[in-house]
């Protein structure tokens, strides 16, 4: 059986560098079906029964750009066995926005913090154990350009893929929003894969048009979901998509505060 590993991350986080290092000459390049977005796949060196797919660089799993749609369709419909989420350690705040969404898919994840050579050079420290606790997944520090940590991240992904245990995402939003998501989950549970129920509940809450179009839920379910969403929007005095975005950033801010120790730069007067 071929183990499918997806490599996911923001543009410029070092994905191509890591992908080349992991797959070497076994890689082949084509296009994703129907679109002119490059698709790169290859076998992990020394693992004949593996297939690593390098997904387009994205900032979010929203349905707004071609790259986002390609990436999330692959993650939802092609059932990769594990994900390596590569993030730029010098810009955790921005990169973790995508991580919080990837974790919600229920697929096993290895979080690879790249550019660690730069992080260390800056005198900063990242608490790996704290991040592992927060996200419930293994965290590996890498420097893809130097070939450090990449194999470890890939082997961990293979290990998770072989185990085949779903990742259970933790609640990260405020109590009223978590309650609302639970109500929506209960409403849609017959229509969606239970492993992805949190992801779909959030997408329904955000009124994600592509998800709504793909499922054609019964009218009474849609009506009840809409009433639940409106109640939350009235209470929070904001639209549902902004509520999720803002609360994600609040959560990330708190994680970064607890897990990153930044070197204080002293001002020198010359």
**Contacting residues toward ligand BGO, per CB under 6 A:** 9, 11-17, 57, 114-115, 117-118, 143-145
87 vs 172 by CB, closer to ligand BGO? 87
Closest to ligand BGO by CB, 118 vs 256, is: 118
Q: Residue 66 CB, nearest distance to ligand BGO (Å)?
A: 16
Instruction: State in angstroms the smallest separation of the CB of 177 from ligand BGO.
Output: 31
CB-count burial class (<10 Å; 0-12, 13-18, 19+) for 261: exposed
Between 146 and 258, CB nearer to ligand BGO: 146
Which residues have CB under 8 Å from 214's CB, separation 6+?
A: none
State phi, psi for 110 to the nearest 5 degrees: -110, 125
Please give the Cα distance from 144 to 14 (Å, whole number): 7
**CB nearest ligand BGO: which residue?**
14
Q: Where are the beta strands (DSSP E) in the chain?
A: 3-9, 28-31, 38-42, 50-54, 82-88, 109-114, 125-126, 139-141, 260-261
Cβ proximity to ligand BGO: between 54 and 206 the closer is 54
CB of 80 to ligand BGO, least distance (A): 18
Nearest distance from residue 147's CB to ligand BGO, in Å?
Answer: 9
- Decide whether 26 or 174 has the Cβ nearer to ligand BGO: 26
Residue 175 burial (CB count, 10 A): 8
**Is the separation of the CB atoms in 83 and 61 below 8 Å?**
no
- C-alpha 31/C-alpha 131 separation (Å) is 35
Nearest distance from C-beta of residue 142 to ligand BGO, angstroms: 6
């Amino acid at each position: 059986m071929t183990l499918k590993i997806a490599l996911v991350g923001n543009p410029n986080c070092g994905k191509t560098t890591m992908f080349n290092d992991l797959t070497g000459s076994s890689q082949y390049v084509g296009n994703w079906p129907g679109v002119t977005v490059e698709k790169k796949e290859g076998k992990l060196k020394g693992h004949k029964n593996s297939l690593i797919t390098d997904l387009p660089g994205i900032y979010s799993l929203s349905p707004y750009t071609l790259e986002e749609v390609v990436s999330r369709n692959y993650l939802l419909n092609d059932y990769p066995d594990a994900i390596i989420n590569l993030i730029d350690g010098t810009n955790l705040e921005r990169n973790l926005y995508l991580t919080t969404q990837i974790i919600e898919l229920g697929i096993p994840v290895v979080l690879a913090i790249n550019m660690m050579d730069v992080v260390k050079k800056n005198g900063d420290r990242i608490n790996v154990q704290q991040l592992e606790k927060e996200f419930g997944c293994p965290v590996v520090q890498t420097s893809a350009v130097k070939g450090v940590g990449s194999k470890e991240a890939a082997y961990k992904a293979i290990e998770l893929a072989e185990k085949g245990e779903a990742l259970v995402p933790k609640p990260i939003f405020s109590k009223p929003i978590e309650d609302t998501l639970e109500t929506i989950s209960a409403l849609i549970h017959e229509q969606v894969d239970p492993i992805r129920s949190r992801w779909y509940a959030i997408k329904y809450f955000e009124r994600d048009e592509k998800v709504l179009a793909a499922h054609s839920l019964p009218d009474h379910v849609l009506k009840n979901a809409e009433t639940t969403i409106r109640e939350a929007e009235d209470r929070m005095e904001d639209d549902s998509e902004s509520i999720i975005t803002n609360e994600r950033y609040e959560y990330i801010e708190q994680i970064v505060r607890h897990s990153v120790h930044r070197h204080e730069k002293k001002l020198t007067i010359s």
